[in-house]
Amino acid sequence: MKEQTRAPHGAVRRIASLGAAVLAAIGLTLGVAAPALAHDELTGRTFTSNTDGQSDGVVLSFSNEIMAVGTEIVVADSAGTSIVDGAPEIVGRDVTQAIVTPLNTGENYRVIWRVVSSDGHPIQGEYYFEVDANGVAAVSATTEPDPRTEGEEDAQEQVEDEVATTDSASAEQSSFPVGGWIAIGAVVVLGAAAAVLFAAKKRKTAESPAKTNDVEETN
């Protein structure tokens, strides 16, 4: 009779230990995965130069390698005229967009960009740059509209429309979240543990009458 009592309790202890281990593993995995789930960020805005030292392209640097699909960079002057030269080039964490030269001294150029983060989510932003007498560009403002372009909303909207025409389905593609797979795995493991406990109880119930009959026949 003592063995019958200990067996189920042993199974319960084993299942409890398994559940604790699963919960600990989930917590550890979530802790490790959390930083990886953060979207990539823009870390730098620089320019390329030709042999004369004049700026001939914009370079965006990100915190991680981005996806080639959905990358779009629009560069336009204050009148809304695009000055991009070809498609953007992606090398590692850097995206380079060539621009038409020569650039106008003192002109206020606007850059609108959108890329797909390494986690599958699109990120975007904008900034402005000006060019000095030597043809060298420098960032003049970020995100906020430049007051010198007031009254030119129509031209700016035209530039934004160019960005909006990119294939949204490709840009928004993303993989199933890591946390979802972790949750599914936890449910499967805990379900299996519950099945083992149920089977142990059922076996105990089935064996109890047989043990009792054996004792009576012995007496």
CB 72 within 8 A of CB 113: yes
Mean pLDDT of all residues belonging to the chain: 74
DSSP string, 134-163: TS-EEEEEESSPPGGGTT-HHHHHHHHHHH
What value does the mean pLDDT take over residues 155-163? Answer: 52
Give the domain ranges of the chain: 2-35+177-218, 42-171
Q: Which of 120, 143, 95, 99 is nearest to 36 (CA)?
A: 120
pLDDT for residue 40 = 85
What value does the mean pLDDT take over residues 53-79? Answer: 95
pLDDT for residue 118 = 86
Residue 12 has pLDDT above 60, yes or no: no
Residue 141 has pLDDT above 50, yes or no: yes
Q: Which of 56-65, 70-79, 104-113, 135-144 has the lowest mean pLDDT?
A: 135-144
pLDDT for residue 22 = 55
Can you say whether residue 105 is alpha, beta or left, with left for phi > 0 and alpha for psi between -120 and 50 degrees?
beta
17 or 149, higher pLDDT: 17
Query: Rounded to whole angstroms, how far apart are CA atoms 183 and 61?
Result: 34
Query: Rounded to whole angstroms, how far apart are CA atoms 99 and 103?
Result: 9
CB atoms within 10 A of CB 99: 22
How is residue 214 written in tokens? 């054996």
Contacts of 208 (CB under 8 A, 6+ apart): 4
Q: Name the 3-class secondary structure at 203.
A: helix
> How much is the pTM?
0.52
CB atoms within 10 A of CB 33: 14
Long-range contacts of 62-65 (CB under 8 A, 24+ apart): 62/93, 62/94, 62/95, 62/115, 63/93, 64/40, 64/93, 64/117, 64/118, 65/92, 65/93, 65/118
pLDDT for residue 160 = 55
| Best-predicted range by mean pLDDT (18-27, 144-153, 182-191) | 182-191
135 or 27, higher pLDDT: 135
Output the CATH code of domain 42-171.
Answer: 2.60.40.1220
pLDDT digits (tens, 9 = 90+) for 87-116: 999 999 999 999 999 999 999 999 999 999
Kindly state the percentage of the chain with pLDDT values over 70. 48
